[in-house]
Structure 1
Amino acid sequence: MALGLAACAGAPLHSTVKAAAPAQPLAQLVVATPDADHDVLAQLLAGEMALTRTDLKAAAGRYDKAMALSNDPKVAERAAGLAIAVHDDEAARRALARWQALGAKPAAIAQARAQLALDVGDTAEARRQLEILVGSSDKDAWRQFGRVLVGARDQAQAGRLLEALATPQRLPADAQAWLAMSELGDRLGRHAYAVQIATAAMQRFQTAETYTWAAQMKFKDGDRAGAAALLQKALVKEPQNTRLRLAYAGMLGQAGDYAAASKLLAQGPQNADTYAMRAGLAAHLHDDKALAALYRQLQNAPTEVREHSAYLLGQLAEMQNKPAEALAWYDQVGDDDAHAFDADLRSAIILHGQGKRSDAHALLEQLQLAYLDQPEPLRQAWQADAELYLTEQNYAKAEAAFSRALQVVPDDPGLLYGRGLAYAEGGQVDQAVQDFERLLKLKPGDVDASNALGYTLADANRDLPEATRLISAARAAKPDDPAIADSWGWLQYRLGHLDQAVQTLRGAWLARKDADVGVHLGEVLWQQGHRQDAQRVFDEVRKLDPHNDNLQQALKRLHP
Structure 2
Amino acid sequence: MNLYSLVFGSFLLAPLYSGLLNAAPNPLASDQQVEHIYLRSGELPEVSLSADIMYRVLVAEVAAQGGDFDTASQTFLDLARDTLDPRFAEKSFQLSMVDYNQSRALRAAREWNSLAPENPEAKATVLALEASAGNTKGMAQALRQRINSATNKEQAIIQAMSLSGRMVDPRLALEVLEEAIPPELRQLQVAHLALSDVAWAAQRPARALYEARQALERSPDSEAAAQRVLEYGLHVDVETALKETSAVVQQNPDMRKLQLLLISRFVDHRKFNEALALIDAMQVRNPEDFDLLYTKAEVLMRAQRYDEAIQGLDEFISVQSQRRRSVNDGVSNALAGISDARLLLVRIAEERKDYAEAIRQLDLIEEPMLRFQSRVHRAVLEARSGDLKKAQRTLDALGTQDRQEQAVVALTRAAIYREAGRTDNAITVLERANKELPDTAEVKYDLGMLYERQGRYPEFEKLMREVIELEPGEANAYNALGYTLAEQNRNLDEAQDLLEQAMELDPANPYILDSVGWYLFRVGDYQAAAEYLERSYAIMPVADVAAHLGEVYWVDGRPEQAKQVWAEALAQDPTNEALLSTLKRLGVTLP
Q: 1:99 to 1:452 in 2, by over 3 A?
A: closer
Q: Does the C-alpha gap of structure 1 residues 244 and 398 become closer, same or farther in structure 2, counting only changes over 3 Å?
A: same
- 1:193 is paired with a residue whose SS is helix
Q: Distance in 2 between matches of 1:272 and 1:67?
A: 58
- Which residue number corresponds to residue 212 of structure 1? 227
How far 1:265 sits from its partner (Å)?
A: 2.8
- Pick from 109, 115, 121 the counterpart of residue 98 of structure 1: 115
Pairing 1:328–2:369 present: no
Alpha-carbon offset, residue 245 of structure 1: 1.9
Question: Quick check: 2:86–2:116 contact (8 Å CA) kept in 1?
Answer: yes
The residue number in structure 1 matching 2:519 is: none
Q: 1:203 aligns with which of 205, 212, 217?
A: 217
Task: State the partner residue of 1:258.
Answer: 272
After the TM superposition, which of the residue ranges 397-406 and 109-118 deviates more from structure 2?
397-406
Contact 1:214 / 1:230 at 8 angstroms: preserved in 2?
yes
Matched, 1:160 2:175: yes
Q: Is the 8 A contact 2:140 2:177 kept in 1?
A: no
SS at match of 1:216: helix
- State which of 349, 357, 378 in structure 2 corresponds to 1:347: 378
**Paired residue secondary structure (1:189):** coil
Q: Which of residues 361, 379, 386 is equivalent to 2:392?
A: 361
Deviation string 1:231-278 (CA, Å, 9 cap, x unpaired) is: 43245435261x222211122223432022123235346999866653
* 2:168 aligned counterpart, secondary structure: coil
Distance 1:181 1:129 in 2: 18
- Deviation, 1:291, is 1.4
How far apart are residue 198 of structure 1 and its match? 0.8
Q: Compared with structure 1, are the counterparts of its residues 345 and 260 closer, same or farther at alpha carbon in structure 2 (3 Å cutoff)?
A: farther
1:263 & 1:58 partners in 2: Cα distance? 59
Contact kept in structure 2, 1:182 and 1:197, CA below 8 Å: yes
- Is 1:311 aligned to residue 325 of structure 2? no
Aligned equivalents of 1:273 and 1:168: distance in 2? Answer: 45
Paired position in structure 2 for 1:289: 307
1:114–1:130 CA contact under 8 A, matched in 2: no
* Superposition map of 1:33-432 within 5 A: 34-38=49-53, 47-67=60-80, 77-79=90-92, 81-82=94-95, 86=101, 87-88=103-104, 89-100=106-117, 103-105=118-120, 108-137=121-150, 141-166=156-181, 169-170=184-185, 173=188, 175=190, 178-206=192-220, 207-222=222-237, 224-225=239-240, 227-234=242-249, 236-239=251-254, 241=256, 243-266=257-280, 267-268=282-283, 278-300=296-318, 301=320, 302-309=334-341, 311-316=343-348, 322-329=357-364, 332=367, 334=369, 343=374, 346-352=377-383, 357-363=388-394, 382-387=414-419, 389=420, 397=422, 400-401=425-426, 408-409=449-450
1:355 CA drift (Å) = 8.0
**CA separation of 1:322/1:91 partners in 2, compared to 1, >3 Å: closer, same or farther?**
closer
AA at the equivalent of 1:63: F
- Gaps of at least 5 residues in structure 2 are 1-46, 321-333, 431-445, 455-543, 552-565, 578-583
SS of residue in 2 equivalent to 1:186 = helix
* Partners of 2:113 and 2:234 in 1: CA distance: 44
Question: Per-residue deviation at 1:80?
Answer: 5.0
Question: For the structure 1 residues 221 and 240, does the alpha-carbon distance in structure 2 shift closer, same or farther, using more than 3 Å as the test?
Answer: closer
Percent of aligned pairs with the same residue? 14
Cα distance 1:273–1:152, how it changes in 2: closer, same or farther (>3 A)?
farther
- Displacement of 1:306 after TM fit? 2.8
Which deviates further from its counterpart, 117-126 or 378-387?
Answer: 378-387
CA RMSD of aligned residues (A): 4.9
Q: Which amino acid aligns with 1:131?
A: R
- Deviation track 1:464-488 (CA, whole Å, cap 9, x = no partner) reads xxxxx99xx99x88xxxxxxxxxxx
SS in 2 for 1:121: coil
Query: 2: CA distance between counterparts of 1:83 and 1:96?
Result: 16
**Paired residues of 2:178 and 2:195 also in contact (CA < 8 A):** no
Deviation, structure 1 residue 43: 5.6
Post-superposition offset of 1:133: 4.2
Q: Counterparts of 1:97 and 1:33 in 2: how far apart (Å)? A: 21
CA, structure 1 residues 354+406, in 2 after alignment: closer, same or farther (shift >3 Å)?
closer
> Does the aligned pair in 1 maintain the 2:275–2:299 contact within 8 Å?
yes
TM-aligned CA distance change 1:210 to 1:278, over 3 Å: same
1:57: Cα distance to partner?
3.1
Q: Could you tell me whether the CA contact under 8 Å between 2:297 and 2:310 is conserved in 1?
A: no
* Deviation by residue 1:263-322 (Cα, 9 ceiling, x = unmatched): 323534699986665344313433133211222133233234234555324334666863
- Output the amino acid matched with 1:358: K
| Structure 1 unaligned residues grouped into runs of 5+ | 1-31, 391-396, 414-437, 454-468, 478-560
> Residues 349, 120 of structure 1: CA spacing in aligned structure 2 closer, same or farther, 3 A cutoff?
closer
| 1: CA distance, partners of 2:53 / 2:447 | 55
Could you tell which deviates more after superposition, 142-151 or 348-357? Answer: 348-357
Q: Which structure has the bigger radius of gyration? A: 1
Q: 1:271 to 1:260 in 2, by over 3 A?
A: same
Distance 1:36-1:277 versus aligned 2 partners, 3 A rule: farther
Check conservation: 1:73, 1:99, Cα contact below 8 A.
Answer: yes
Letter in 2 for 1:188: A
Report the Cα distance in structure 1 between the residues aligned to 2:384 and 2:126, rounded to whole angstroms: 64
> Residue 278 and residue 119 in structure 1: after superposition, are their counterparts in 2 closer, same or farther (change >3 A)?
same
Deviations 1:442-462 (A, max 9, x none): 999867997699xxxxxxxxx
Whole-angstrom CA distance in 2 between matches of 1:43 and 1:135: 44
* 1:484-523 correspondence runs (5 A): none
CA 1:353 to 1:75, structure 2 compared with 1: closer, same or farther past 3 Å?
closer
TM-score under structure 1 length normalisation: 0.54
Distance 1:287 1:104 in 2: 60
Deviation at 1:373, TM superposition (A): 7.2
Q: Is the 8 A contact 1:212 1:244 kept in 2?
A: yes
